[in-house]
Amino acid sequence: GGFLMMINGMLFYPLSSALLFIQSGALHFRGRTVLCALIGLLICKASAQPTEAPADLQAELSSLRQTLSYVMNRYRLLCDHYTNMASNCSAPVLSCSACPAGWLHVEDKCFSLSEERLDYENSTARCKEMGSHLAIVETKEQHEALEKEARKFGNFFTYYWIGLTDIENEGVWKWVDNTTLKNPFWAEESHQPDNFNNTEHCVVLESSNHKWSDVPCNFIYPRICEMDAFLL
Ligand SMILES: [Ca+2]
């Protein structure tokens, strides 16, 4: 219904802009980022399985899956087109990849560590603006890859926001997608999370001890954003 039309409207405009970017040979990276973000969004929408959805929702889901399939094929075609065009280019070119340029690819996710420093709320908003969300660190492999990147990128002693908070209910840690924390990497040797002074409701990944701590949400830190990888 209206939602689908909105998705269609959102989708085809960026698709044609992306094509224009690629055809003009200028800033092709930007068009690709928009595409990756949109495809990530659609994958989220289409893979959310309602348990007992009414018929009209099932129809909308099926239609969204078709649209997703169309967009993925279209993206592959654009990548082929771009790769062929790039082969005639004397300047260095980017290739189509699972993550936008500069993002770290770990398992089926893409992560980006910022230099900019903001509080938790504004960091959340900044990730959203990029078609992503604050990092949801679900596996040991993701955690270790991010720790390594944090030390390399942020040096020895840097805290990075991840998308975990107990602001709604003290001691109940939830990710930005509202799922409950299952696999924590707290800095237990320094008794984290300790809710020091009853003011610490947001979580950082620390590059120094390779663990997580709770800190006040209004502190100013760089962040880690995440989006789904687009597996070509
Ligand atoms: Ca703490």
What pLDDT is attached to residue 4? 42
Instruction: Say how far residue 225 (Cα) sits from the centre of its chain.
Output: 5
User: Is the confidence at residue 6, as pLDDT, over 60?
Assistant: no
- How far away, in angstroms, is 164 Cα from ligand 1 center? 13
Using a pLDDT cut of 90, give the percent of the chain over it: 55
How far is it, in rounded angstroms, from Cα 137 to Cα 134? 9
Of 49 and 18, the structure prediction assigns the larger pLDDT to 49
34: left (phi over 0), alpha (psi -120 to 50) or beta: alpha
Distance 159 CA to ligand 1 centre (A): 12
| 193 upstream amide cis, omega within 30 of 0 | yes
Q: Distance from the CA of 12 to the center of ligand 1, in angstroms?
A: 46
Say yes or no to pLDDT of 88 above 80. Answer: yes
Please tell me the distance between residue 216's alpha carbon and the centre of ligand 1 in angstroms: 8
- Yes or no: say if 123 and 221 are a contact pair by the CB < 8 Å rule: yes
Task: Tell me the per-residue pLDDT of 92-106, one tens digit each, with 9 for 90 and over.
Answer: 777 788 999 899 999
- One-letter amino acid at 209 equals N
Cα four-point dihedral sign 85, 88, 90, 94:
positive
How far, in Å, from the CA of 201 to the mean position of ligand 1? Answer: 9
Residue pointed to by tokens 């989220």: 44
Stronger pLDDT, 128 or 5, i.e. the higher one: 128
For 52, 114, 116, 146, 224, the CA distances from 220, given in Å and listed in that order, are 43, 12, 9, 19, 13
| Cα 153 to averaged position of ligand 1 atoms, centre (Å) | 23
Token duo for residue 214: 């709770």
DSSP labels for 81-109?
HHHHHHTT-SS--PPP-SS-TT-EEETTE
Q: Rounded distance, CA 18 to CA 28, Å?
A: 7
Measured in angstroms, how far is the CA atom of residue 219 from the centroid of ligand 1?
12
Contact 163, 133 (CB under 8 A): yes
Structure tokens at 27: 């800033």
Mean predicted confidence (pLDDT) in 109-121? 97
pTM score, whole prediction: 0.70
**d(C-alpha 186, C-alpha 141), whole Å:** 15
d(CA 210, CA 187): 8
